[in-house]
Amino acid sequence: MNCRRLTTAAAVLVLMLAAGCESQSSALPPPHEINDTTVSVLDGMSLKDYPGPKAQIEYADGQTDFFCDTLGLFSVYLRPEQDRKVSAMYVQDMGAADWQHPVGHWIDAKRATYVVGAKKLGAMGQTFASFASEADAQQFAKSEGGKLYRFDQITIDMATVDGGVIKDQNM
Protein backbone atom coordinates (compact mmCIF):
# COMPACT_ATOMS: atom_id res chain seq x y z
CA MET A 1 0.00 0.00 0.00
CA ASN A 2 2.83 2.43 0.82
CA CYS A 3 4.39 1.81 -2.58
CA ARG A 4 1.09 2.71 -4.27
CA ARG A 5 0.79 5.93 -2.29
CA LEU A 6 4.37 6.82 -3.15
CA THR A 7 3.74 6.12 -6.85
CA THR A 8 0.58 8.23 -6.76
CA ALA A 9 2.36 11.08 -4.98
CA ALA A 10 5.20 10.94 -7.51
CA ALA A 11 2.72 11.02 -10.39
CA VAL A 12 0.93 14.02 -8.88
CA LEU A 13 4.27 15.80 -8.41
CA VAL A 14 5.25 15.14 -12.04
CA LEU A 15 1.89 16.49 -13.25
CA MET A 16 2.24 19.59 -11.09
CA LEU A 17 5.75 20.24 -12.39
CA ALA A 18 4.60 19.72 -15.98
CA ALA A 19 1.70 22.11 -15.47
CA GLY A 20 4.08 24.67 -13.98
CA CYS A 21 6.42 24.39 -16.96
CA GLU A 22 3.47 24.69 -19.34
CA SER A 23 2.22 27.87 -17.70
CA GLN A 24 5.71 29.36 -17.81
CA SER A 25 6.18 28.51 -21.49
CA SER A 26 2.76 29.91 -22.36
CA ALA A 27 3.50 33.22 -20.62
CA LEU A 28 3.45 36.15 -23.03
CA PRO A 29 6.70 37.90 -23.88
CA PRO A 30 6.78 41.44 -22.48
CA PRO A 31 5.56 44.31 -24.68
CA HIS A 32 8.03 46.76 -26.18
CA GLU A 33 7.86 50.41 -25.24
CA ILE A 34 7.51 53.09 -27.88
CA ASN A 35 10.49 55.39 -28.42
CA ASP A 36 11.33 58.25 -30.80
CA THR A 37 12.16 55.85 -33.64
CA THR A 38 9.12 53.56 -33.33
CA VAL A 39 7.05 53.69 -36.51
CA SER A 40 3.96 51.92 -37.83
CA VAL A 41 4.68 48.93 -40.04
CA LEU A 42 1.81 49.98 -42.32
CA ASP A 43 2.80 53.53 -43.20
CA GLY A 44 5.96 54.56 -41.36
CA MET A 45 4.12 57.06 -39.13
CA SER A 46 5.83 57.84 -35.84
CA LEU A 47 3.79 56.36 -33.01
CA LYS A 48 4.78 59.14 -30.59
CA ASP A 49 3.27 61.87 -32.77
CA TYR A 50 -0.39 60.84 -32.69
CA PRO A 51 -3.25 60.38 -30.21
CA GLY A 52 -5.21 57.26 -29.39
CA PRO A 53 -4.36 53.65 -28.58
CA LYS A 54 -1.35 52.02 -30.21
CA ALA A 55 -0.80 48.31 -30.85
CA GLN A 56 1.94 45.77 -31.45
CA ILE A 57 2.24 42.20 -32.66
CA GLU A 58 5.19 40.12 -31.49
CA TYR A 59 5.93 37.21 -33.80
CA ALA A 60 7.51 33.88 -32.87
CA ASP A 61 10.61 34.79 -34.91
CA GLY A 62 11.27 37.71 -32.53
CA GLN A 63 10.14 40.50 -34.87
CA THR A 64 7.68 43.07 -33.57
CA ASP A 65 5.34 45.09 -35.78
CA PHE A 66 3.95 48.33 -34.35
CA PHE A 67 0.72 50.06 -35.35
CA CYS A 68 -0.22 53.69 -34.84
CA ASP A 69 -3.72 52.54 -33.91
CA THR A 70 -5.58 49.37 -32.94
CA LEU A 71 -7.44 49.25 -36.24
CA GLY A 72 -4.11 48.54 -37.98
CA LEU A 73 -3.43 45.56 -35.73
CA PHE A 74 -6.78 43.99 -36.61
CA SER A 75 -6.43 44.75 -40.32
CA VAL A 76 -3.16 42.77 -40.38
CA TYR A 77 -3.98 40.00 -37.90
CA LEU A 78 -7.37 39.16 -39.45
CA ARG A 79 -6.15 39.02 -43.06
CA PRO A 80 -6.74 35.55 -44.49
CA GLU A 81 -3.17 35.48 -45.80
CA GLN A 82 -1.68 36.26 -42.36
CA ASP A 83 0.08 33.02 -41.49
CA ARG A 84 2.99 34.15 -39.31
CA LYS A 85 3.03 32.60 -35.84
CA VAL A 86 2.10 35.27 -33.31
CA SER A 87 3.61 35.15 -29.81
CA ALA A 88 1.66 38.09 -28.38
CA MET A 89 -0.44 41.10 -29.29
CA TYR A 90 -0.70 44.20 -27.16
CA VAL A 91 -2.87 47.30 -27.14
CA GLN A 92 -2.88 50.21 -24.74
CA ASP A 93 -5.38 50.44 -21.89
CA MET A 94 -7.09 53.75 -22.59
CA GLY A 95 -8.66 53.64 -19.14
CA ALA A 96 -5.16 54.32 -17.81
CA ALA A 97 -3.28 55.99 -20.68
CA ASP A 98 -3.60 59.63 -21.77
CA TRP A 99 -5.54 59.69 -25.08
CA GLN A 100 -3.51 62.55 -26.56
CA HIS A 101 -0.10 61.14 -25.57
CA PRO A 102 -0.47 57.45 -24.71
CA VAL A 103 2.60 55.88 -23.13
CA GLY A 104 2.85 52.37 -21.68
CA HIS A 105 -0.19 50.69 -20.14
CA TRP A 106 0.12 47.68 -22.49
CA ILE A 107 -2.45 44.91 -22.12
CA ASP A 108 -3.03 41.60 -23.89
CA ALA A 109 -5.05 42.48 -27.01
CA LYS A 110 -7.06 39.26 -26.75
CA ARG A 111 -8.28 40.15 -23.24
CA ALA A 112 -9.17 43.78 -23.96
CA THR A 113 -12.64 45.22 -24.42
CA TYR A 114 -12.94 47.47 -27.49
CA VAL A 115 -15.23 50.39 -28.22
CA VAL A 116 -15.94 50.58 -31.95
CA GLY A 117 -17.61 53.59 -33.53
CA ALA A 118 -16.72 56.24 -30.95
CA LYS A 119 -16.49 59.94 -31.84
CA LYS A 120 -13.00 60.23 -30.34
CA LEU A 121 -10.40 59.79 -33.08
CA GLY A 122 -7.06 58.02 -33.09
CA ALA A 123 -4.00 58.43 -35.30
CA MET A 124 -5.77 57.48 -38.52
CA GLY A 125 -9.25 58.73 -37.67
CA GLN A 126 -11.75 56.25 -36.32
CA THR A 127 -10.09 53.60 -34.14
CA PHE A 128 -11.00 50.80 -31.77
CA ALA A 129 -10.56 52.20 -28.26
CA SER A 130 -9.04 49.46 -26.09
CA PHE A 131 -9.63 48.93 -22.37
CA ALA A 132 -8.51 46.47 -19.71
CA SER A 133 -11.76 47.03 -17.83
CA GLU A 134 -15.20 46.54 -19.34
CA ALA A 135 -16.49 49.21 -16.92
CA ASP A 136 -13.98 51.73 -18.35
CA ALA A 137 -15.06 50.76 -21.88
CA GLN A 138 -18.72 51.26 -20.97
CA GLN A 139 -17.97 54.68 -19.46
CA PHE A 140 -16.02 55.67 -22.60
CA ALA A 141 -18.87 54.50 -24.87
CA LYS A 142 -21.36 56.44 -22.76
CA SER A 143 -19.44 59.69 -23.28
CA GLU A 144 -17.98 59.11 -26.78
CA GLY A 145 -20.49 56.75 -28.39
CA GLY A 146 -19.74 53.38 -29.91
CA LYS A 147 -20.42 49.76 -29.12
CA LEU A 148 -18.44 47.29 -26.99
CA TYR A 149 -16.75 44.24 -28.53
CA ARG A 150 -14.47 41.48 -27.35
CA PHE A 151 -11.39 40.63 -29.44
CA ASP A 152 -13.00 37.59 -31.06
CA GLN A 153 -16.09 39.60 -32.07
CA ILE A 154 -14.14 41.96 -34.33
CA THR A 155 -14.19 40.93 -37.98
CA ILE A 156 -12.02 41.80 -40.96
CA ASP A 157 -14.95 43.78 -42.41
CA MET A 158 -14.90 46.01 -39.32
CA ALA A 159 -11.12 46.48 -39.57
CA THR A 160 -10.90 48.11 -42.98
CA VAL A 161 -8.09 50.65 -43.27
CA ASP A 162 -9.06 52.10 -46.64
CA GLY A 163 -11.10 54.84 -44.99
CA GLY A 164 -14.26 53.45 -46.52
CA VAL A 165 -13.16 54.55 -49.99
CA ILE A 166 -15.09 52.78 -52.71
CA LYS A 167 -12.71 51.39 -55.28
CA ASP A 168 -13.42 52.17 -58.94
CA GLN A 169 -13.92 48.76 -60.53
CA ASN A 170 -13.33 50.20 -64.04
CA MET A 171 -9.69 51.05 -63.42
Q: Of residues 85 and 12, which shows the higher confidence score?
A: 85
Please give the Cα distance from 82 to 59 (Å, whole number): 11
Q: Of residues 151 and 171, which shows the higher confidence score?
A: 151
Which conformational region is residue 44 in: left (phi greater than 0), alpha (psi within -120 to 50 degrees), or beta?
left
Write out pLDDT tens, residues 18-52: 444 444 446 889 999 999 999 999 988 888 889 99
pLDDT of 163 higher than 90 = no
Which residues, at least 6 apart from 123, have a Cβ–Cβ distance to it below 8 Å?
40, 45, 47, 50, 51, 52, 54, 68, 69
Q: What is residue 21's predicted lDDT score, i.e. its pLDDT?
A: 44
**Does the predicted model carry a pTM greater than 0.95?**
no
Percentage of the residues of the chain whose pLDDT score is greater than 70: 78
Q: What is residue 26's predicted lDDT score, i.e. its pLDDT?
A: 65
pLDDT of 141 higher than 60 = yes
Write out pLDDT tens, residues 77-94: 999 888 899 999 999 999
Q: What's the N-to-C CA distance of the chain in angstroms?
A: 82
Element (H, E) at 24: helix 2-25
